[in-house]
Every structure is written in structure tokens, then in C-alpha cells.
Amino acid sequence: MSSRLWRRLQQELNQASAASPGSWTWTWISSSSSCCRPRAGLRSEPCRGLSGSSRGTMNVFNREMKKRQKNWAASLQDGHQYDYLRDEVGGRVADRVYDIARTFPLALDIGGGKSHIAEHLSKDVVERLFLTDISESTLVRARRQTEIPTHCILADEEFLPFKENTFDLVMSSLSLHWINDLPGALRQIHQVLKPDGVFIGAMVGGETLYELRCSLQLAETEREGGFSPHVSPYTAVTDLGNLLGQAGFNMLTVDIDDVQVHYPGIIEVMTDLQGMGESNCAWNRRSMLHRDTILAAAAIYKEMYGNEDGSVPATFEILYMIGWKPHESQAKPAKRGSATASFGELSKISRPNNTDKS
Amino acid sequence: MSGPNVWSRSREKLRIFPELFAQCGGEAAAYGKCVAATTTGRQELTRDLCAKEFEALKTCFTNAAKKRVK
């Protein structure tokens, strides 16, 4: 990251403190390709992650394609009808923010898009918000209203353009599943957090869209003799704890929410996913789907997973994670040898007498 | 036609797909059952295992499309 970028951000922050409440200001920090060091190779080559060791970096998703898909989704006339999932998850993440009895002077929403989380937050919980997304159209056209003064920044989640120890709260809702180098991104989030700062995230994972995946796989096998992946690979909930721990977070909380949405058929599932900006952008994706395969997949989906009333379910498994940046004030495991009671004495503990309570 | 290019023509066809598919419920169920049987039974799913059922489904679908154009 160039120091010029940081100085511009510092100036932004100083200016913004004079801005009136409820307003938002623009900062355009150029996207990942210009943040790359010049030795990174040809522009047309998929850019390997610069964060962390390049040996462990995977390059699964075409981020440029994802940006185009999100721009397209944001420019739809009736795009708000596809926002139901993001709204729901944004509300639940906001609930988790409220559960922490603190006021956060500076918060960051990574991949926030239309700002679904801040919609539910109030100024006494978050005083100032930075909203980043990879897609400009989403930030400009489709942003939701919130009373928190917001700065919109065009930035890639894998290349956060912020200084260390800046934010008290980092949130992310339904955007981590398109990141190539998830360990690296979590480490960057850990870096930009202040000590005793918290990261609250929600990502789709585990068994999301297994019905769609299986139907397409069976249809392609039967019709064409082989199959290619159409649904992106997800993080399992068991891996998430390890990932957060490796990134340096403390006091982890991970839980799962199963959201099942019922659709008339497979075409509506795919149309809605496209409208949400969640189309496939993996490098290994096949660029077309035969009409026979679509017909076969529709029949299989309905037969294998359909409900009595003719609708089909689509499962979204949302993984919520909370991680804290270490700080001395946080509770630590007790030192060895400091126990004052033994488990063997459990049987000797008498029940408290209710009349003694004042 | 809503547009001159492949993109808009494909999207138009996909838009009417559910309507046509709804008219072929029986054939679709037969095909679906044939494929679903391989997931529980011992037989592996290979290419064209359920070709007969699929042909019936496809014929029904194309007839529905022809009727709709009329």
C-alpha cells in the first residue's frame, strides 16, 4: 500500500469530522490492480493474492467478473426484489452488533453493497461507518438510507486500503464467500482492527444450495456423461474456527443459521441468484448450460426435493462468526495451579436455601 | 422479440420455461424418479440411462412450446 493512499485517507478522515450528521462522502481508492506491485506480471494474468504467503493462496474466483456481475445486478430496475436474503442476514448481523454493549466510534463494513447492516443500526451504536464494496454501481445507485454518516470506498476485500489499528468494529455480510484468499483476508481484517476490536461476519457456507448443485450434477451426468461445478465451493463450519484462530482472533463464536427459501422452480432459483449478484464467477466454470440439461435438472429438482404444493426449496446455510482482537482486558484461561476447588468436591456442594436469599 | 441479440432471446425463452414446464408434470416426475432411483439403488448413473423418459419429457415440452406460439 502506498503511503500516498494513507495520507489521502487521513485527510479524508479529518475533513469528514466536520461533515453534518446523516451525510456521506465519497472516496475513490483505486481497485486491486493498481495496488499490485509492478513486478506482479501481466495485467491479464489472474492476480495472485499479495497478502500472506503466495504458496497457500488459491485463485478460485474471477474478481473482475464478480465486479461486473454486481454492477449489472445493481443497475437492474427492480433489483430490490432480490434483496430479501441480504436484508434478513443484515438484520441478524445488526442484532449481534447490538448484543455487544459498546459504542463503536469507527466501523467498517466489508463488501457491504447496498449497506444492509447499517440500515438497522443507530448512531449510538456506531458513530461513523466506512462502507467498501468491489462494485461502484452498488455504492452509488442502490445504497440504503441510514442515519450513520457513511463514507463509501471502492475497494477489494482482499486488499483493504486501511492502516493498522484503525477500526473498532468490522462487519461483513454475505461477501466473504467470493474471496480467493480467505485466510489472508481474515488476517487483514485482524490488522485493521484496534486491540479489543471485534469482527462480526456472516457468510454462506456448508451445505448452501446443495439441492441446486445435486440437481445440476445429476442432470449433466445423465444427459452429457460428465459434470462440471456450477455452485462455488463453500467453507465448512468446522474450518471456520480454525481460520479465525489462525488469523489471530480470540474468543470466537461461530453459529449456523439455516434459511430455506421456497421457489416455484429451478429457473426462479437461478434468476434470483443472478439478480442478487451471486452468479458463478469461478475460473473453472463452464460458460453454458445445455437446454436439455436445464430441462432435466428442473425435473430432477422437483422430483427429489419438491414440496407437496409444487414449490422447491433452496437452502442457504449462513455461518455467523464473531472474533475479537486480543487485548489485556480480555478474559484469559486461568493459570495452572490456581484452582481453589476440586471437581471431586462437587457432590459436597449443598443446594442454596431459597429463604436465605435477600 | 424484446431484442435482437442472443442474450435477450435466451432470457425470453427462460422466462416462459416455467409455464411450459408446468404442463409436463407427469413426464417430469417419471424422469425425476428414474434419476433419483440411481442415488439410492446400487446402479450408477451413466449417460442416457433414462433416455426414454427424457425423450417423452422433451416431446411434451416442445409440444407445449408449439401450442403456445399458436
Structure confidence at residue A295 (pLDDT): 95
Q: Which residues of A touch B35 (CB under 8 A)?
A: 218-219, 222, 296, 299-300, 303-304
| Confidence category of residue A313, pLDDT binned at 50, 70, 90 | very high
CB of B17 within 8 Å of any CB in chain A? Answer: yes
> How far is the C-alpha of A17 from the C-alpha of A358, rounded, in Å?
50
Partner-chain contact B21 A221, CB within 8 Å: no
Q: Which spans in A58-180 are helix H? A: 63-74, 84-99, 136-141
Lowest mean pLDDT among A46-60, A92-106, A260-274: A46-60
Contacts of B32 in chain A (CB under 8 A): 299-300, 302-304
Q: What is the mean pLDDT of residues A104-131?
A: 92
pLDDT digits (tens, 9 = 90+) for A301-310: 999 999 999 9
Mean pLDDT to the nearest integer, A259-288: 93
Q: Do B28 and A299 touch (CB under 8 A)?
A: yes
Cβ pair B31:A267 closer than 8 A: no
Mean pLDDT (chain A, rounded): 83
CB-based contact A299 B57, cutoff 8 Å: yes
Cβ(A249)–Cβ(A330) under 8 Å? no
At what angle are helices A291-305 and B6-22 packed, to 10 degrees?
40
Which domains occur in chain A, in start order?
Answer: 3-206+233-258+318-329 (3.40.50.150)
If pLDDT is split at 50, 70 and 90, which confidence band does B12 have? confident
Whether B28 and chain A come into contact, CB under 8 Å, resolves to yes
Burial label, A167 (beta-carbon count in 10 A; 0-12, 13-18, 19+): buried
Could you report the per-residue pLDDT of A208-217, keeping only the tens digit for each?
Answer: 999 999 999 9
Chain B contact present for A269, CB below 8 A: no
Contact between residue A185 and residue A105 where contact means Cβ atoms under 8 Å apart: no
Any chain B CB within 8 A of the CB of A307? no
Q: Report percent pLDDT > 90 for chain A.
A: 65
Q: Is the pLDDT of residue A333 over 60?
A: yes
Please check the confidence at residue A180 and state whether its pLDDT lies above 90. Answer: yes
Which of A222, A265, A268 faces B35 most closely, judged by CB atoms?
A222
Please write the tens of the pLDDT for every residue from A18-39. 443 433 444 444 333 333 333 3
pLDDT digits (tens, 9 = 90+) for A43-67: 433 333 344 444 456 789 999 999 9
Strand arrangement of the beta sheet that strand A104-110 belongs to: A24-27, A150-154, A126-133, A104-110, A167-173, A193-204, A312-324, A250-263
